[in-house]
Structure 1
Amino acid sequence: MKRTVYALARYRDCQAAIDFLTGAFGFRAHEVSKNDEGVVNHAELLVGDDMIMIGEGRPGGPGIYVAVEDVDAHHDRAEAAGAEITMEPVDQPYGSREYGCKDPEGNLWWFGTYRP
């Protein structure tokens, strides 16, 4: 199945979040990526047939990640429509190109080429 939309949450301590989410809610770890210091900075957790992604960072409320084909064109369209860009398009070490923004109500959105 080729997914396009993923729920996303940020945690200061991803490993503690994984431990809690798997223990308390029965989520299953699918992919866990660690940085050079061994700290989890990204994880994909399965919830039934669906997936959520969690990442390291300051919690700022839930967000949505949407896979798109052309990140730069998508960014330009969103910015022209009034989206507040929170992260300019950037190439990630795991091969994705991504950007982040807020909609007019302050909801967090990330768009990129990554498809787990």
Structure 2
Amino acid sequence: MAANYPDVIPMIAYEDGPKAMDWLSSAFGFTERARMLDNGGRLSHGEMQAGDGVIMLATPTPDYQAPRHHRESCEPARKWSTVPYVVDGLLVYVDDVDAHFARAKQHGATILSGVETNQNGKLYRAEDLEGHRWMFMQR
């Protein structure tokens, strides 16, 4: 499997993997590489290309709770959601952070911070449709 894969690949669980793949494509501009569904239509393995990186996705079990739903029943997680930082999330470099921000916002991403320039560079932070946190930085 190592051919055509980067050295590190994030693996993310989603309640509705097929919907997440469609959304990640439209909102964040990722390209679908693979989609394997089980007999019940649940995503057993998915791959998205983001620049030269790869993200793997799956829906692990029917009772899995994505971050957005987990926060509804977990007070410490709910408190953390008020902070706009991406500590347990993904960082993706893009060529045009302003255009990427506009696209993500247009497709319903929850914007955690607008485009800003700080000591790390030009970036913005967002949550996807199930509450996973992402930071996008200008390449």
Shorter-normalised TM-score: what interval?
0.3 to 0.5
Normalised to the residue count of structure 2, the TM-score between the two structures is: 0.40
Which structure features the higher share of helix residues?
2
